[in-house]
């Protein structure tokens, strides 16, 4: 019988909270595999096992598990009863599989979680190693290399015995739902989806907020943001997206304020609205895709003015990253190809020709005082629509 063995790392460090983290991870895994009938997910001493899954679904299941935060490694393992003969048999199966991939050297590593098992770990390794050599050394030229083996034959003795070799890397991070909720300001650009991903990876539930300037930005821009949410939902199962009508605010700023402050005032409005939505919906922080110096609205002075608009913590996980690094990550998580589609973003419509790169907060506030800010914000929040975007 085969099963999937899941390793998780950082969680193991969490002391008294450990069961909470583990149970959340188990629940998330169950949810991700819920459409496979009869599958069971159980935790056992620092491991999670997926059992009763038909082998034809292994690849699909592994693909999905590679997007579950908190998982460090996933491997297909052979399951045996706790007797030496059976262990030998499944060890042969695992070894054969590696030999067929051209591997030539190996070593055996045994973990005995069940201390009642009559043989100690080194004895099991020795016995099984000798058996495997006898079986395969002649035909395949297999030999032992304890320092730098092509593959490790792992044997874990628990309630049952699990034997496996190579492992697929998991995505890491913390199980989703262990870190509270935060609200992501999601544009159609490259940066903000990556920022959202990074915070979600720390176990935080993300809700997205998009500012929409109809008719200056059209249906296509909205679809683009929905498509980005679909990619994020591959990691989070689902994501709630708020669409905030932003045209009136932009026009009002455009008509009343010094042109050089357009962008910074607009950014401050975004923050204030986002904070309001977050507070109404259990959010504890805002997330943006800002990175120091990337554009005029992301100089230190501009960030100071943007930050001053809200009292909530603002997470900017990309703050110290170069564009190249951000793009690399966007490609890896799968948002890049959507982000580069050329649809207008509300920020690109009302771009001042000469934006202030070093705005002073007093000057920004003076310009802003020409607006009926509270009223505009209230109206935008009231007219905000939302939808839930699901992975499946």
Whether the Cβ atoms of residue 70 and residue 173 lie closer than 8 Å to each other: yes
Q: Is 190 in the site for ligand ATP (CB under 6 A)?
A: yes
Q: Is 89 annotated as a binding residue?
A: no
Task: Give the nearer residue to Mg ion in terms of CB position, either 176 or 228.
Answer: 228
Q: CB 304 → ligand ATP: shortest distance, Å?
A: 15
Among 90, 174, 186, 200, binds ligand ATP (CB under 6 A): 186
290 binds, among Mg ion, ligand ATP, none (CB under 5 to 8 A by kind): ligand ATP
Please identify, among the stretches 99-107, 150-158, 187-195, 232-240, the one whose residues bind ligand ATP according to the rule CB under 6 A. 187-195
Widest pairwise Cα distance in the chain = 87
* Contacts (CB under 6 A) with ligand ATP, residues 288-347: 288-290, 294-295, 297-298, 345-347
Residue that the structure tokens 């819920």 belong to: 34
* Contacts (CB under 5 A) with Mg ion, residues 186-205: 187, 189
CB-based closest residue to ligand ATP:
189
Determine phi and psi for 161, rounding to 5 degrees.
Answer: -110, 130
Q: Is 228 annotated as a binding residue?
A: no
Q: CB 180 → ligand ATP: shortest distance, Å?
A: 19
Task: Give the nearer residue to ligand ATP in terms of CB position, either 185 or 232.
Answer: 185
Q: Is 185 annotated as a binding residue?
A: yes
Q: Is the dihedral of CA 74, 77, 82, 88 positive or negative?
A: negative
Residue 186 CA to residue 206 CA, distance in Å, equals 11
Task: Give the nearer residue to ligand ATP in terms of CB position, either 71 or 347.
Answer: 347
Q: CB 9 → ligand ATP: shortest distance, Å?
A: 30
Residue 321 CA to residue 317 CA, distance in Å, equals 8
Among 8, 106, 136, 211, binds ligand ATP (CB under 6 A): 211
Task: Give the nearer residue to ligand ATP in terms of CB position, either 98 or 191.
Answer: 191
Residue 73 CA to residue 65 CA, distance in Å, equals 9
* Contacts (CB under 6 A) with ligand ATP, residues 118-177: none
Determine phi and psi for 153, rounding to 5 degrees.
Answer: -90, 105
Which residues make up the interface to ligand ATP (CB under 6 A)? 185-187, 189-192, 209-211, 270, 288-290, 294-295, 297-298, 345-347
């Amino acid at each position: 019988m085969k099963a999937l063995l899941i390793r998780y790392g950082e969680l193991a460090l969490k002391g008294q909270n450990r069961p909470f983290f583990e149970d959340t991870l188990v629940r998330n895994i169950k949810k991700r595999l819920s459409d496979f009938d009869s599958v069971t997910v159980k935790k056992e001493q620092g491991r999670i096992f997926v059992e009763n899954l038909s082998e034809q679904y292994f690849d699909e299941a592994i693909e999905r598990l590679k997007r579950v935060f908190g998982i460090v490694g996933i491997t297909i393992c052979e399951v045996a009863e706790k007797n030496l003969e059976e262990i030998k048999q499944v060890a042969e199966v695992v070894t054969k599989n590696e030999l067929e991939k051209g591997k030539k050297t190996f070593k055996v590593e045994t973990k005995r979680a069940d201390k009642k098992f009559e043989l100690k770990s080194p004895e099991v390794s020795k016995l099984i190693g000798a058996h495997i050599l006898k079986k395969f050394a002649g035909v395949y030229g297999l030999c032992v290399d304890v320092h730098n083996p092509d593959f490790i034959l792992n044997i874990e003795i628990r309630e049952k015995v699990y034997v496996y070799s190579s492992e697929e890397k998991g995505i890491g991070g913390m199980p989703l739902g262990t870190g509270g909720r935060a609200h992501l300001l999601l544009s159609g650009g490259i940066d903000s989806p990556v920022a959202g991903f990074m915070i979600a990876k720390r176990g935080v539930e993300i809700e997205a907020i998009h500012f929409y300037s109809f008719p200056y930005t059209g249906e296509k821009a909205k679809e683009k943001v929905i498509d980005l949410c679909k990619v994020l939902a591959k990691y989070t199962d689902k994501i709630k997206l708020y669409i905030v009508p932003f045209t009136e605010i932009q026009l009002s700023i455009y008509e009343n304020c010094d042109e050089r402050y357009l962008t910074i005032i607009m950014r401050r409005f975004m923050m204030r609205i986002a904070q309001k939505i977050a507070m109404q919906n259990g959010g504890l922080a805002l997330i943006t895709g800002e990175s120091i110096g990337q554009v005029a609205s992301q100089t230190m002075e501009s960030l100071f003015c943007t930050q001053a608009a809200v009292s909530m913590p603002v997470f900017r996980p990309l703050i110290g990253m170069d564009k190249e690094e951000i793009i690399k990550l966007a490609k890896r998580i799968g948002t890049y190809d959507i982000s580069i589609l050329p649809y207008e973003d509300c920020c690109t419509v009302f771009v001042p020709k000469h934006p202030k790169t070093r705005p002073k907060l007093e000057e920004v506030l003076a310009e802003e005082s020409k607006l009926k800010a509270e009223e505009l914000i209230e109206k935008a929040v009231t007219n905000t629509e939302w939808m839930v975007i699901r992975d499946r």
